[in-house]
Amino acid sequence: MKMLFDGLQFVAEFDAGFSFKKKKEVRDAIIKNGGILSYLLNRKTDYLLLSNPEKIESFKCRSAIQKGVPVVNVDFIFKCIEESLVIDAKRCEVVSESNKKAFQKGKISETKKRRSAGQKRTILPSNVKFWARDDLNAPFFDEPASKLIKWAVYERESNAVKSCLVIEVAVCLQRDDPKNYRILVNSGTNFSQKREKDEFFVSGDSEETVATFAGLCQQAGHNRWNKSTSLPPAHLGSVKLHAMLSSFLPDQSPDESVLQLVYAMWEESMGQLLRRITKPLNEFDLDMVEEIEGILLQMKSSIQTRSPPSEMESLLNDLVEKLTLREKPSKVTLSEIASFQNLCQLIRDLICVQEANGGQPTTPIAKYTALGCRIGHVSEGSSEYEEVLERIKTSNSNASAISVRNIFRIQRCIEDEQFNTAVGNNTTLFHASNVKNFVGILSRGLLLPKVVVDDLGGLRTDAGLLGTGIYFAKDAMVSAKYSSPSETQGTRLMLVTEVALGRSKPTTKSDTTITDPPVGFESYHGVKATTETPSDFKDDEYAVYHVNQQRLRYIIEFTLPADKPKLPLALPASPMVQTPAAPVTVPMDASIDDMDCTETTTTPAAKAGLFSGGEMIPLRAVHVRARVVDLAVAVTLWQCFQNNSSQPIECRYVFPLDDNSVVVGFEALINGKRVVGRVREKKQARTEYREAIEAGHGAYLLEQESPSALSLSVGSLPVGAVCVIRVEIVAELATEGDELVWSLPGSVAPWEEESMLRAKRQAMTGTVAVAGARFGVESSLRVSVQMPTPLRRVECTTHRVRKKETECNAVVELARDQALDGRGFRLSILLAEVHAPRMWVEQGQPGEPQGCMVTFYPEFECDKSDDFECVIMVDASHSMKGQAFNDAQRVAMMVLKRFPVDAFFNVVLFGKGWKELFPSAVRATEENRLNAANFIKSASPTLGSSELSQPLFASSCMASPRGGLQNVVVLSDGHLLQPEQVIHVSQLASRRSLRLFTCGVGPVANRHMLRNVARHGGGMFEMFDPSAKSKWTDKVEAMLDCFGQPSLADVRVDWQVFSEEKREAMVQAPQLLPSLFHGQRQVVYGMVDDCRMATLRASADGTELSTVVSTYDMAVTTGRMLHQLGAKAIIRDWEEGVLHARRTQHEVEKRTRKAAIIDLSVKYSIVTQFTSFIAVEERKPGEVISENPNVDDLVMENDVDCLPYMAWVEPLRDVAHEEKQVEPLRDTKGLMGDNEFHLDDDVYDELFVDDSCALDCSFRADSVEMDSDDDDNDKDMKYRFMKKGGGGGDNWNEDEECDDECEADGFLGGEWDDDMLAKLVPDPESAQAHMSYLGERLDA
- Asked if the model's pLDDT at residue 246 lies above 70, the reply is yes
Cβ atoms 548, 419 nearer than 8 A: yes
SS3 1139: coil
| pLDDT tens for each residue of 1071-1102 | 878 888 876 788 899 998 888 888 888 877 66
Strands (E), 204-288: 226-227
Strand partners, 1171: 681
pLDDT band at 2 (very low <50, low <70, confident <90, very high): low
Strands (E), 1034-1170: 1047-1055, 1067-1069, 1076-1077, 1082-1087, 1093-1100, 1103-1110, 1117-1118
- Asked if the model's pLDDT at residue 1263 lies above 50, the reply is no
Q: What is the overall mean pLDDT for the chain? A: 77
Helix (H) or strand (E) holding 31: helix 20-32
Q: Which residue has the higher pLDDT, 854 or 643?
A: 854
Could you tell me which of 1242, 1232, 1209, 1236 has the C-alpha nearest to residue 1316? 1242
DSSP 879: G
CA distance 847 to 1089: 10
Average pLDDT over residues 66-72: 82
Sorted by sequence, the CB contacts under 8 Å of residue 676 that are 6+ apart come out as: 666, 667, 1175
> What was the pLDDT predicted at 1300?
44
Q: Residue 1113 CB: number of other CB atoms within 10 A?
A: 7
- Asked if the model's pLDDT at residue 193 lies above 90, the reply is no
CA distance 749 to 120: 46
- Asked if the model's pLDDT at residue 474 lies above 60, the reply is yes
Average pLDDT over residues 651-657: 73
Query: Among 816-825, 1295-1304, 1325-1334, which is the least confidently predicted range?
Result: 1295-1304
CA distance 250 to 368: 9
Buried b (16+ CB within 10 A) or exposed e, 445-455: bbebbebbbee
> What was the pLDDT predicted at 574?
52
- Asked if the model's pLDDT at residue 913 lies above 70, the reply is yes
CA distance 730 to 662: 6
CA distance 123 to 213: 9
Question: Does a cis peptide bond (omega within 30 degrees of 0) precede residue 1070?
Answer: yes
Cβ atoms 1008, 986 nearer than 8 A: no
CA distance 1034 to 696: 49
pLDDT band at 1282 (very low <50, low <70, confident <90, very high): very low
Average pLDDT over residues 59-64: 81
> What was the pLDDT predicted at 368?
82
Q: Which residue has the higher pLDDT, 521 or 449?
A: 521
966-972 and 1021-1023 beta bridge pairing: unpaired
Cβ atoms 409, 378 nearer than 8 A: yes
Handedness of CA 49, 54, 59, 65 (dihedral sign): positive
CA distance 426 to 202: 28
This prediction has a pTM of: 0.62
Cβ atoms 488, 264 nearer than 8 A: yes
| pLDDT tens for each residue of 1173-1218 | 999 988 888 777 777 788 888 888 888 999 999 999 988 755 444 4
| pLDDT tens for each residue of 116-157 | 545 556 677 778 889 998 888 888 888 877 888 999 999 998
1117-1118 and 838-843 beta bridge pairing: parallel
Average pLDDT over residues 611-622: 57
The amino acid occupying position 700 is Y
Buried b (16+ CB within 10 A) or exposed e, 880-896: bbeebbbbbbbbbbbbb
The amino acid occupying position 580 is P
Q: Residue 742 CB: number of other CB atoms within 10 A?
A: 23
SS3 616: strand
pLDDT band at 106 (very low <50, low <70, confident <90, very high): low
SS3 1001: coil
Q: Which residue has the higher pLDDT, 745 or 1066?
A: 1066
SS3 989: helix
801-805 and 649-656 beta bridge pairing: unpaired
Sorted by sequence, the CB contacts under 8 Å of residue 428 that are 6+ apart come out as: 391, 496, 497, 498, 499, 553
End-to-end Cα distance, the chain: 87
Strands (E), 433-545: 470-472, 492-500, 504-507, 523-526, 541-544
Strand partners, 4: none
Residues in the chain: 1340
CA distance 507 to 543: 11
CA distance 874 to 914: 10
Average pLDDT over residues 412-437: 86
Cβ atoms 254, 375 nearer than 8 A: yes
CA distance 76 to 91: 8
* Rg, C-alpha atoms of the chain: 37
CA distance 61 to 72: 10
| pLDDT tens for each residue of 323-338 | 888 888 888 888 788 7
Could you tell me which of 976, 1049, 968, 969 has the C-alpha nearest to residue 1009? 976
Sorted by sequence, the CB contacts under 8 Å of residue 1274 that are 6+ apart come out as: none
